Amino acid sequence: MKQLELLKKHFGYDSFRPLQEQIINDVLDHKDLMVVMPTGGGKSMCFQLPSLMLDGITLVISPLIALMKDQVDSLKANGIHAGYFNSSQDSSQQQELIAALNSKSLKLLYVAPESIQLLQNYLQPKDVALIAVDEAHCISTWGHDFRPAYTQLTYLKKSFSQASMIALTATADRATREDIKKQLDISDAQEYVASFDRPNLTLEVRPGNNRLAQLRQFLKKYKDESGIIYCLSRKSCEKLADQLSGLGYSVAAYHAGLEHRFRESVQEQFIKDEIKIVCATIAFGMGIDKSNVRFVIHYNMPKNIEGYYQEIGRAGRDGADSNALLFHSYADVIQLRNFAMDSGNSEVQIAKLERMKQFAEALTCRRRMLLSYFNEYLDTDCGNCDVCLNKPDFFDATVLAQKALSAVYRMKEQASLNLLIDVLRGAQNATVIESGFQTIKTYGAGKDISWNNWQQYIIQLINQGLLEIAFHEYNHLKLTPQAQAVLFENQPVQLAVIPKPEELAARKSAVEQLPSDVNKELYEALRKLRMQLASQKNLAPYMVFSDVTLKDIAARIPLDKEEFEDITGVGAHKLEIYASDFLSLTQEYKMMRTSDFVYRVATSSPKKKKTPKTDTVFESVQMYWDGKTVEEIAIIRELKEDTILGHLSKRYISHKDVDISPYINISDVENIESKYDLFKEHNALKPLYEHFKGSYSYGILRLAITLIEANVKAI
Ligand code: ADP
Ligand code: MG
Comparing CA positions, the residue from 529, 552, 580, 542 lying closest to residue 13 is 552
d(CA 356, CA 359): 5
Between CA 592 and CA 580 the distance in angstroms is 18
Shortest-distance ligand to the CA of residue 290: 1
Q: Which residue from 193, 317, 548 has its CB within 8 A of the most atoms of ligand 1, so it is best to mutate?
A: 317
Residue type, 579: A
pLDDT at 278: 96
Residues 6 or more apart whose CB falls under 8 angstroms from that of 90 comprise none
CB atoms within 10 A of CB 489: 7
The CA distances from residue 301 to 309, 470, 505, in Å, are 12, 20, 20
Element (H, E) at 309: helix 305-312
User: What is the sign of the dihedral through the CA atoms of 100, 103, 104 and 107?
Assistant: negative
What distance in angstroms lies between residue 71's CA and the mean position of ligand 2's atoms? 9
Q: Ligand 2 mean position to 67 CA, how many Å?
A: 9
For 182-219, how does the pLDDT look when each residue is reduced to its tens digit (9 = 90+)?
Answer: 999 999 999 999 988 999 999 999 888 788 988 988 89
Which CATH number does 201-330 carry? 3.40.50.300
Q: Which atom of ligand 1 is nearest to the CA of 16?
A: 23
Which ligand minimizes its atom distance to the CA of 64?
Answer: 2
Q: Which residues fall within 8 angstroms of residue 398, CB to CB, at 6 or more apart?
A: 486, 490, 491, 492, 493
Atom of ligand 1 nearest to the CA of 44: 6
Closest ligand to C-alpha of residue 74 is: 1
CA of 44 to the centre of ligand 2 (A): 6
**Ligand 1 first shell, C-beta below 6 A:** 13, 16-17, 20, 37, 39-45, 289, 291, 317-319, 546
Instruction: Please tell me what DSSP assigns to residue 225.
Output: -
- What atom of ligand 1 comes closest to residue 134's alpha carbon? 2
Choose which residue among 11, 61, 78 to substitute to test ligand 1 binding: the one with the highest number of ligand atoms within 8 A of its C-beta. 11
Handedness of CA 19, 22, 25, 29 (dihedral sign): negative
Is there a contact between 307 and 340 (Cβ–Cβ < 8 Å)? no
Helix, strand, or coil (residue 147): coil
Domain positions in the chain: 2-193, 201-330, 394-498, 504-603, 616-714
Least distant ligand from the CA of 67: 2
Strands 277-280 and 322-328: unpaired
Nearest C-alpha to atom 14 of ligand 1 is from which residue?
Answer: 318
Ligand 1 atom closest to the Cα of residue 289 is: 7
Give the residue whose CA is nearest to atom 19 of ligand 1: 42
Q: Could you give phi then psi for residue 103, rounded to 5 degrees?
A: -80, 0
Find the 15 Cα to ligand 2 centroid distance in Å: 19
CA of 187 to the centre of ligand 1 (A): 27
- Protein residue closest via CA to atom 25 of ligand 1: 13
CA atoms within 13 A on the CB side of 370: 28
**Is the CATH number 1.10.10.10 carried by domain 394-498?**
yes
109-132, pLDDT tens digit by residue? Answer: 999 998 888 888 888 899 999 999
Which three-class secondary structure string do you get for 370-433?
A: HHHHCCCCCCCCCCCEHHHHCCCCEEECHHHHHHHHHHHHHCCCCCCHHHHHHHHCCCCCHHHH
Question: Whole-model pTM?
Answer: 0.66
Q: What is the DSSP string of 8-50?
A: IIII--SSPPTTHHHHHHHHHTT--EEEE--TTS-TTHHHHHH
Asked if domains 2-193 and 504-603 share a fold, the reply is no
Write the residue with the smallest CA distance to atom 2 of ligand 1: 43
Strand 57-61 with 128-133, pairing: parallel
Q: Which residues of the chain have pLDDT under 70?
A: 1, 142-145, 286-287, 471, 501-517, 605-614, 711-715
The residue contributing the CA closest to ligand 1 atom 15 is 42
To the question of domain 2-193 being in CATH 3.10.180.10, the answer is no
Q: Answer yes or no: are the C-beta atoms of 352 and 231 closer than 8 Å.
A: no
Distance 168 CA to ligand 1 centre (A): 13
Span from the CA of 291 to the centroid of ligand 1 (angstroms): 8
Report CA(45)–ligand 1 centroid distance (Å).
7
Distance from the alpha carbon of residue 548 to the mean position of ligand 1, in angstroms:
12
pLDDT digits (tens, 9 = 90+) for 233-261: 999 999 999 999 988 899 999 998 888 88
> Looking at the CA of 39, which ligand is closest?
1
Residue 673 phi, psi dihedral angles, 5° rounding: -60, -35
Taking the CA of 292 as reference, the closest ligand is 1
**Residues 150, 113 contacting (CB under 8 angstroms):** yes
CA of 41 to the centre of ligand 1 (A): 6
Instruction: Report which ligand 1 atom has the smallest distance to the Cα of 71.
Output: 7
Minimum-distance ligand 1 atom for the alpha carbon of 17: 23
pLDDT at 144: 61
Please name the residues in contact with 488: beta carbons below 8 A apart, sequence gap of 6 or more.
none
d(CA 356, CA 302): 8
> Which atom of ligand 1 is the closest one to the Cα of 43?
3
Q: Which long-range contacts (CB under 8 A, 24 or more apart) does 476-479 make?
A: 476/413, 476/414, 476/415, 476/416, 477/408, 477/413, 477/415, 477/416, 477/417, 477/420, 478/408, 478/413, 479/405, 479/408, 479/409, 479/413
Q: Look at the domain 504-603 and name its fold.
A: DNA polymerase; domain 1 (1.10.150)
pLDDT at 714: 38
Dist. CA 357 → ligand 2 center (Å):
29
According to the model, what pLDDT value does residue 505 have? 57
| Å from CA of 505 to ligand 2 middle | 35
Please name the residues in contact with 265: beta carbons below 8 A apart, sequence gap of 6 or more: 656, 657, 658, 659
- Predicted confidence at residue 78, as pLDDT, reads 94
Closest of 548, 11, 522, 42 to residue 294, by C-alpha: 548
Q: Hey, whose CA ends up nearest to atom 9 of ligand 1? A: 42
Nearest CA to ligand 1 atom 20: 42
DSSP code at position 438: G
Task: Indicate which ligand has the atom closest to the C-alpha of 548.
Answer: 1
Atom 23 of ligand 1, nearest CA residue? 16
Ligand 2 centroid, distance to 618 Cα (angstroms): 31
Pocket test for ligand 1, best of 192, 201, 318 (most atoms within 8 A of CB): 318
Distance CA 383, CA 366 (A): 10
Q: What is the predicted pLDDT for the residue at 621?
A: 85
Of 653, 552, 575, which is closest to residue 265 (Cα–Cα)? Answer: 653
DSSP code for 154: G
Sign of the alpha-carbon torsion through 528, 529, 535, 538: negative
700 C-alpha to ligand 2 centroid (Å): 39
* DSSP state for residue 7 in the 8-state scheme: I
Q: Measured between alpha carbons, how far is 130 from 167 in angstroms, rounded to an integer?
A: 11
610: Cβ contacts below 8 Å, ≥ 6 apart = none
Q: State the ligand closest to the CA atom of 549.
A: 1
